[in-house]
Amino acid sequence: MSNPSLKRALGLYATTALVIGSVVGSGIFSSPSQMARDLPSAPYLMGVWVLTGILTLFGAFTQCELLGQMPKTGGLYEYFREVYGEGLGFLYGWANFMIAGSGAIAAISFFFAQYFENFTALPHFTHALTFLGVTEDTPWNIPLLGAIFPYQFLGRKLVASFLVVFLTALNVRGVKLGGMVQSISTTAKMLAILAIVLVAFIAGSHVGSAANWSRAGAAGTTLLGWPLIGAVALAMSGAFWSYDGWGNAAYIAGEVREPQKTIPKAIILGTLTFIGLYLVVNLAYFYILSVGGVANAPGDRVASQMVFAVVGSGGAGIIAVIMMLSAFDTTNSTVLTNARVYYAMARNGLFYRKSEEVHKKFQTPHIALILQGAWSIILLVTGSFDLIVSMYVFVNWVLYALMAIAVFILRKRRPNAERPFSVPGYPWVPAIFVLFASAYVIITLVTDIQAYQAGTQPLIRSVTGMALVLTGLPFYYYWRWKRRTNSRSSLS
């Protein structure tokens, strides 16, 4: 009996909600704090948000051209496989499963649990840990990576695991259901975020000041030369993390109606929306808190600190609900989209074979979804997600540069091919994207090496992140060998 096919059930609104939901998660509520410590200048920081937003839009344009030519489930995995060969395509998918996609699910669901704890005390399982002869601070040391703390925050990890299980089960039951939930939660999230921004500007006039937008902290006035470039690169890393996820909608091309038209519209509309939202939110942060207040927000909870400054402790419950809604929305979009990459890999014989199965009733890649959920929970419970996700921004931008270069390769390889979407401003837009991505990768590498030599980092994160991706090579050769063996068996 043939394997059922995926169902084209998503339209423009749901797909746009997936784009926005994949991006607007926890980053915009916490990254600005570390960014302000790295680059203590409100004008420079706003410049970073604008610059990284423009680069993100250029990247979105670039991906849309590739998607128009290859509207296949799997997104960048399929583009890399087509342009560079299946080896690089596999490494992209492997990195997504082992680190980026699953790590993001673990990280954002944990963020959800952090704010859930505002409403009820969560257990620490102290007696059980004592019985096992360990404490919350007992580390597991991983060679070349560092220490993880699997016994910390067990109550939060339990709540986060329930969220992953719930959203995995929900998305197994149908892409239309997952898309409907996404549409509702993204709309509610956007309205809630805009509401707190309005509260900041209207009700916060007694504590805020527009003069904060032009001010720098004491450290920000002394940054010149290479230290300034390094500080900008560090701040860009936080902004890129907050912007990341804009391409996830391409993973579900096989389940979108008229994907060559719908997905490019959704990606561009969604990208313009979250860029505008991020700029307004950061203006609100600086208006109320100043760059120093953003940098020193307790626990990096910048949004919470802003609301507290405006309405006092009474706003804690409101902001907690908004943070939970945001995390729920982003976790759902990440669960829904990323599993399609592993489904596509399995169809090509380069992943656990059963992951290509489509549920007979719900028409979803249920095995891929379940495997993704299981690995995300492992990363979550062990606490390793925080360690590995921080290494992946560098790798991601290497891959983004290769994505943009692929546009030039296909233009040369297929000059007369139909292009439902062409990059506006070609060749300048993809060329600028490649140049900035390459410069960012080089600066990040140099900064990481300097931090390692200065003893402020236990390892060179960018190099370690790339090494983690390359651990997929033995699996690639194994699955390729198994595919060849199975092919010979079927012919004999």
Q: Is 0.85 topped by the overall pTM?
A: yes
List the domain boundaries for the chain.
12-491
Rounded to whole angstroms, how far apart are CA atoms 330 and 191?
15
What is the four-CA torsion angle of 281, 304, 309, 44, rounded to 10 degrees?
-40
Q: How confident is the model at residue 492 (pLDDT cuts 50, 70, 90)?
A: low
181: closest CA among 18, 320, 371? Answer: 18
Inter-residue contact 419 to 65 (CB < 8 Å): yes
For 418-429, the DSSP string reads --SS--TTTTHH
12-491 has which fold? Amino acid/polyamine transporter I (1.20.1740)
Does residue 53 surpass a pLDDT of 90? Answer: yes
Best CA proximity match to 271, nearest among 20, 3, 97? 20
Q: Is the pLDDT at 432 greater than 90, yes or no? A: yes
pLDDT at position 146 over 80: no
Is 220 a residue whose pLDDT tops 70?
Answer: no
What residue has token string 């656990």? 352
Cα angle, residue 125 at apex, residues 121 and 129 outer, rounded to 5° = 155
Average pLDDT of the segment spanning 409-428: 93
| Higher per-residue confidence, 323 vs 217 | 323
Per-residue pLDDT, 137: 87
Q: What is the pLDDT of residues 245-285, one digit of tens each?
A: 888 999 999 999 999 999 999 999 999 999 999 999 999 99
Q: How far apart are the first and last CA of the chain?
A: 21
pLDDT tops 50 at residue 33: yes
Residue 50: per-residue pLDDT: 95
pLDDT of residue 386: 66
State residue 414's pLDDT score.
93
Backbone angles phi, psi at 452, to 5 degrees: -65, -45
Q: Is the pLDDT at 390 greater than 80, yes or no?
A: no
Band (490; pLDDT cuts 50, 70, 90): low
Which of 470, 426, 22, 73 shows the shortest CA–CA distance to 247? 22
Residues 164/373, Cβ–Cβ less than 8 Å: yes
Cα 246 from Cα 229, distance rounded (Å): 26
Tokens representing 19 are 């784009």
Distance CA(425)–CA(309), nearest Å, equals 44
Query: In the 8-state DSSP scheme, what is residue 141?
Result: E
Alpha-helical (H) ranges within 118-258 are: 126-132, 154-172, 175-203, 225-243
Radius of gyration of the chain (CA): 22
Q: Cβ-count burial of 191 within 10 angstroms (0-12 exposed, 13-18 middle, 19+ buried)?
A: exposed
Per-residue pLDDT averaged across 144-155, rounded?
81
Contacts of 363 (CB under 8 A, 6+ apart): 4, 5, 6, 7, 174, 175
At 1, the pLDDT band (50, 70, 90 cuts) reads: very low
* Percentages (nearest 5) of helix, strand, coil residues in the chain: 75, 0, 20
Q: pLDDT by residue (tens digit) across 287-326?
A: 999 999 999 998 888 998 999 899 887 787 888 899 999 9
Is the pLDDT assigned to residue 448 strictly greater than 70?
A: yes
- Chain-centre distance for alpha carbon 63: 16
Which has more confidence, 163 or 98?
Answer: 163
Of 65-74, 83-92, 144-153, 256-265, where does mean pLDDT reach its minimum?
A: 144-153
The mean pLDDT of 163-176, rounded to a whole number, is 97
CA 157 remoteness from chain centre: 19
What residues form DSSP beta bridges with 142?
146
Which of 25-29, 282-286, 361-365 is predicted with the least confidence, judged by mean pLDDT?
25-29
94/89 Cα distance (integer angstroms): 9
The residue with greater pLDDT, 373 or 206, is 373
So what's the pLDDT on residue 333?
96
Measured CA to CA, the distance from residue 56 to residue 467 in angstroms comes to: 26
Q: What is the mean pLDDT of residues 457-485?
A: 89
Mean pLDDT taken over the chain: 90
Answer yes or no: is pLDDT of 35 > 50: yes
Distances from the Cα of 375 to the Cα of 196, 214, 333, 385, 447, angstroms: 35, 45, 17, 11, 31
- Cα–Cα distance measured from residue 55 to residue 95, given in angstroms and rounded to the nearest whole number: 23
Q: Is 442 exposed, middle or buried (0-12, 13-18, 19+ CB in 10 A)?
A: exposed
Asked if the peptide bond before residue 32 counts as cis, ω within 30 degrees of 0, the response is no
Let me know: does 157 contact 113? Beta carbons within 8 Å.
Answer: yes
